[in-house]
A = this chain, B = another copy of it.
Amino acid sequence: MGRKPTNLDLYKLAFSHTSAAKENSDGFKESNERLEYLGDAVLGMVIAEYLFKRFPYKDEGFLTEIRSRLVSRESLGQLARKIGLDKLVVYDTKRKTALSFKYLHGDTMEAFIGAIFLDKGIKFCSKFITRNMLNAHIDLKHIIDNDNNYKSKLIEWSQRQGKTVKFDMIDEKGNSHQKQFKIQVLVEEEIVSSGVGFSKKNAEQDAARRACEALNI
């Protein structure tokens, strides 16, 4: 992270998955989940500010969409593995097949950010996110251009699997000036995910991205 930790316990906690959590002296079971909650909020803010300043003439629909791609569990998980966090996290191997492990690395990334924030404060943490994550490992242009990826990814998967995929618009809010759409993804007539966006295309992408996450595609 570029500097020595002050409070090492925070980082130990950040790498303690709930499956390996122990009770502390007050009888509270400590795992990295509270840090993950905090890190998620810190990351959300730092990336919001970063995109706000980097794209002064893009509207909030664009900023929201790019942010949600940057902080998706999939992309955080990749990042965690790139910087080697996957080797530090402690979990109960007997439970490794459980569903909550799907997000193990992404969640650890968030908890790590929560620990840095508490240990070093928002300024350092913000620099860490910008330098060590965004500038070092993220190809922003690629992320912006890969607008259509999730829908095609989902459709290709369904063709391989011989399953039906349907996109249903379930909600439309606002007037012509500012509309928001909500679209649901159904696989084999079962609801898998829903997504929102300021255009039908964006809502479809959002829903498709969530479907890919939910289905582990």
Contact = CB atoms under 8 A, between A and B. Distances in A.
Interface stretch (A3-11, A31-39, A153-161): A31-39
Nearest to A44: B41
Interface residues of A, number: 38
Interface string A15-58: 00011000000101000011011101110110111001000010
Interface in A161-217: 170-171, 173-175, 177-178, 191, 194
A48 B194 CA distance: 25
A62 to B, nearest CB: 10
Contact of A48 (B37, B63, B174, B178): B37
A175 B98 contact: yes
Contact of A175 (B34, B49, B95, B117): B95
Interface in A45-99: 45, 47-49, 52, 57, 59-60, 63-64, 95, 98-99
A175 B60 contact: no
A1 interface: no
A152 interface: no
Contacts of A19: 177
B37 A174 contact: no
A144 interface: no
Contacts of A177: 18-19, 95, 98, 100
